[in-house]
Amino acid sequence: MKLSRRGFSRLLLSGAALGAASLCTRDHTGSKAADHVRGGDGPLDAFLGKPFCEIRPVFEGSPPVREPYLAVATDGTVLVLRNYVGHLRRSTDGGETWSDIIEVPIRHSDSNIIVDELTGDLLSLRLWQGEDKAFRSKDGGSTWVEEPVSVRLDGEMRWLEQAGLKHRTTRTSGEPGKSYYLHCNASESGLTLRYGKRPGRLIVTGTFRPHAKEHPSDRKPVDAIYSCALYSDDRGKSWRVSELFPDGYTEEAAVVELSDGTLYFNTRSHRGFYEKERARTLSAEHALRREAWSTDEGHTWDNFRISRVLPDGGGYNRGYGMKGGLTRLPVRGRDILIYSNADTAGGQREKLTIWASFDGGRTWPIKRLLYPGPSAYSSLGAGRPGTASEGKIFILFEGSLRHQYGAMQVARFNLSWLLGGERTGDGDVPDWVRSS
Domain-wise residue ranges, the chain:
37-429
pLDDT score for 226:
97
pLDDT at 8: 53
pLDDT on residue 13 = 36
pLDDT tens digits, 176-212: 999 999 999 878 999 999 998 999 999 999 999 999 9
Asked if 398 and 404 count as a contact pair (C-beta separation under 8 A), the reply is yes
Say what the pLDDT of residue 435 is: 62
Strands 250-257, 238-241: pairing kind: unpaired
pLDDT tens digit string along 336-364? 999 999 999 889 999 999 999 999 999 99
Helix (H, G, I), strand (E, B) or coil at 223: helix
pLDDT at site 300? 97
Using a cut of 0.95, tell me whether the model's pTM lies above it.
no
What is the pLDDT, as a whole number, of residue 10? 41
Q: Which residues, other chains included, contact 184 with Cβ-Cβ below 8 Å and sequence gap of 6+?
A: 109, 110, 111, 112, 125, 127, 204, 205, 206, 207, 230
Residues of the chain with pLDDT under 50: 1-3, 6, 9-10, 12-35
The per-residue pLDDT for 436 is: 54
For residues 404 and 415, is the Cβ–Cβ distance under 8 A?
Answer: no
77 neighbors 94 (Cβ within 8 angstroms): no
DSSP H/E element including 60: strand 53-60
Contacts 24+ apart (CB under 8 A), 168-172: 169/130, 169/211, 170/128, 170/129, 170/130, 171/109, 171/128, 171/129
Q: Looking at residue 16, what is its pLDDT?
A: 29
Q: Which of 183, 203, 312, 345 is nearest to 264 (CA)?
A: 203
Write down the pLDDT at residue 434.
76
The total number of residues written for the chain in this structure: 436
pLDDT at 39: 60
pLDDT tens digits for range 77-126? 999 999 999 999 999 999 999 999 999 999 988 889 999 999 999 999 99
Fold classification of 37-429 (topology level): Neuraminidase (2.120.10)
